[in-house]
Structure 1
Amino acid sequence: MTALEDSTVKCRGCASENVVLVVDVGDQPLADYFPPADNPGPDPRWPLSLWLCRECTLVQLGPVEAQLAEEPLAVESATSRAHAEASVKEILRDYPELLGTVVFEFGSPHGGSWLDHLYAAGSRLAGEDEKAGLVIDVHGIVHEPQYGDSLKLRADRLAPGGLLVMEFHHLLPLFIGNQFDTIRHGHWAYVSLRALQNIAALHGLTIESVRQAEMYGGSLMVMLRHTADAKPDASVDVVLDDEEAAGIADEVQLGSLHEAARHAAGALHDELSRHQAAGRTVLGYGAPSKAPVLLDLSNVTTDLLPFTVDLAPGKHGRRIPGACMVPIRPIEELKAARPDVVLVLTWDIADEIVAQLEADGGWGATYLVPLPEPHELGTRRQDAR
């Protein structure tokens, strides 16, 4: 594979033209486009591919511009709400000088806002153009097409001596965990710590420390300061070493994700077919933005998955986009149907979902998680056997 020949296409992080294709999953439906269930389609599709910048190492969507605006239909999970509260407590415990500081938050379509918890601790929201002692971006920046320009905005908001906290889904677990369904239109960047370090340096920022977070299948919470104020600790090198060992800045290594995705997609189709042949009913839980790519690549239609359910009322009466045509219904319909197998499409909060469905004792369902390979989860009842 060769670098992009069109000189107008540049890295979304550092503007280099030295960008190379590493993964191509073909034309895919827009992740957050959920048409009415009676819409016969076909749904619009756009190319979906990952490119690696050989200069800053940012992995990013290729030269595509999605044509449909994302409609905010999702409901924030209990896991996400609890994570926001715990994160604020952790940051204020470890950085007590930030108690009551001026804050600014760059929002995210995923939710997870820290502001109410910071207000409760005495913080004040920065005024227009006012710099803040604490600047927050929790899963927000990847929704902006130009990663480098967006990072500069965050650097510009940061007061001297202040702390920028950025949490994002980490490229490392995406790669080693075969989380290919997180590749989607609207998520423009797939970020490693190395790439963030390289792009941050262009805007006068240095990574001071990093922590692991379990959100979305594996995230990083990264603390940055203006370079003159930063004192990096050992946690930074630990993550950089892990990334280096996995080869996630190597185009050949990254390219192996393509075959891993195809293999896991085929395995999911085979697993659902096996249950169908055995006379077992399979229904889904969740209608996340991850589902269209997963089900499309797996060639799963209503023959194998008659419907899925979701907590978000705005998704009821709609369907997963693409060829699968799987309708989305209220959770009560899943409970009433009592399927033999529940396919957990929102696999990153599988524990929350199993606990919710098993709260009243459940009905003996098997919970199937699709990635990194299809596998079953235990329940308290099964574990007690």
Structure 2
Amino acid sequence: MASPHPDPRGSRDTAPTCRWCRSTQGDVVLDLGDQPPADLFPAGDDPGPDPVHPLRMWLCASCGLAQLAEDPTTPDEPRGAEPQALVDQARDAVARVEAAGLVPAGGGTVTEFGSPHGGSWLDLLAGAGLAEVTDGRPADVVVDCFGLMHEADQREGLAARAAATAPDGVLVLQFHTLAAIVADGGWNALRHGHFAYYSTPVLTAMLAEIGFEVTHALLFDLYGGTVLLAARRTGVPGPRDEVSVQTQIEREEGVGVRDAGVVAALGAAADASAGTLREHLAERRDAGRSVIGYAAASRAVPLLNRASVGPDLLPAIADGSPGKWGRRVPGVAVPIVGPEEVTRRAPDEVVLFVTDLLEEMRTRLPEVEAAGGRWVVVDPTVRVAPPRRT
């Protein structure tokens, strides 16, 4: 679970201390200035002003972990609706974990460290013969899908997951790899409450420090590059795929995930994508074209604030999570509405802030394209989706 306590290092005036190795040597590789918390969606009638805090990514020169330089916010993220892409990826991941021999034959136990972004593997793993641990005992399989990043103290967070793993058990960690973030210019992956941004070589080394050896590295297309690492305590026998691990490490080292100069290119990507989004929406407004957004995801918050996009350019954002309806995007006051508003408004464009939702939303809202509208994907660069093939 994410720590409920604010990060005590929440100041630009204090040198960051690595959340893993405690080093103070490193570089700020992305500075988005003062931003509202991406997990705070105020009520629609809340006049503000909304609180803002520094939002910076710091790359530790000692261990290579990319992380929030500071975060004085208190996590308060409404649980999101689970995208179909995440459901499909979970099904694929569990099937591949089973195929790799990482699930005990004849049944066993499982503990899951959850994420506020929605989704769970427990039902899928129950189908594979694993029963959830409810009494605190170590489990044969421990699963963390996008959960560890929410731990302000990374050493404590990883230690808790290791302690939950039985002596001969398997620890499974899934994360959006920094290599994909850098390669895609995905600067808006940076947000308050997401304390760490992992690469395979760095997380492999972190696991080794606590006595775990990575045995498998599985790569998925989700979010442009999601990696699943499976690890056992060093020396414990079990299935291994050293080739997959070494291949993924070499691939990500080749991208430059430890190089502050390479990762710092995210700053230029932030300027370019925010400017392009604002220009696109301004052109549509001036041309009299109607627009609505979709997916009030936390990654949309820094993008809209960086681009200074308010209701004059984006009248509303629809979202599938009822907990966000009637609220607004912090900092820019764009109202959040239910999905039915997309159909009611019949917009010329639907601006989608999560790329992986495109095919799902086309299926759920075919009337957009049937009426001559189009989908525009912004994650974080702007592109018009070509017409769907029939």
User: Any runs of at least 4 consecutive aligned residues in structure 1 with deviations exceeding 4 A, and if so which?
Assistant: 4-7
> Which of the numbers 276, 280, 294 marks the counterpart of 2:289?
280
Unpaired segments of 5 or more residues in structure 2? 1-11
- Note closer, same or farther for the CA distance 1:126–1:73 as it changes in structure 2 (3 Å cut): closer
1:1-385 equivalent positions in 2, closer than 5 A = 6=14, 9-66=16-73, 68-95=74-101, 98-99=104-105, 100-229=107-236, 231=240, 233-322=242-331, 324-358=332-366, 362-380=370-388, 383=389
Inter-partner Cα distance in structure 1 for 2:131 and 2:347: 49
Inter-partner Cα distance in structure 2 for 1:139 and 1:39: 31
Q: CA deviation at 1:374?
A: 0.9
Q: Report if aligned partners of 2:376, 2:385 keep a CA contact under 8 Å in 1.
A: yes
Q: Secondary structure at the match of 1:259?
A: helix
Q: CA deviation at 1:166?
A: 0.6
Amino acid at match of 1:272: L
TM-score normalised by the chain length of structure 2: 0.91
TM-score normalised by the chain length of structure 1: 0.92
Tell me what 2:6 maps to: none
Amino acid at match of 1:198: A
Which region of structure 1 is more displaced relative to structure 2, 121-130 or 343-352? Answer: 121-130
Amino acid at match of 1:87: A
Q: CA deviation at 1:94?
A: 2.4
Q: Report if aligned partners of 2:172, 2:230 keep a CA contact under 8 Å in 1.
A: yes
Q: Secondary structure at the match of 2:174?
A: strand
Q: Secondary structure at the match of 1:155?
A: helix
Inter-partner Cα distance in structure 2 for 1:136 and 1:102: 11
Q: CA deviation at 1:165?
A: 0.9
Inter-partner Cα distance in structure 2 for 1:317 and 1:280: 24
Which region of structure 1 is more displaced relative to structure 2, 332-341 or 93-102? Answer: 93-102
Identity of counterpart residues, as a percentage? 36
Q: CA deviation at 1:372?
A: 4.6
Q: CA deviation at 1:64?
A: 2.3
Unpaired segments of 5 or more residues in structure 1? none
- Note closer, same or farther for the CA distance 1:261–1:97 as it changes in structure 2 (3 Å cut): closer
Give the total of aligned pairs. Answer: 376
Deviations 1:226-257 (A, max 9, x none): 11126451112222222222212111111111
Q: Report if aligned partners of 1:354, 1:379 keep a CA contact under 8 Å in 2.
A: no
Q: Secondary structure at the match of 2:364?
A: helix
Inter-partner Cα distance in structure 1 for 2:329 and 2:380: 21
Amino acid at match of 1:17: T
Inter-partner Cα distance in structure 2 for 1:240 and 1:96: 21
Which region of structure 1 is more displaced relative to structure 2, 89-98 or 238-247? Answer: 89-98
Amino acid at match of 1:349: L
Q: Secondary structure at the match of 1:24?
A: strand
Inter-partner Cα distance in structure 2 for 1:24 and 1:114: 35
- Note closer, same or farther for the CA distance 1:198–1:121 as it changes in structure 2 (3 Å cut): closer
Inter-partner Cα distance in structure 1 for 2:249 and 2:128: 33
Inter-partner Cα distance in structure 1 for 2:113 and 2:313: 40
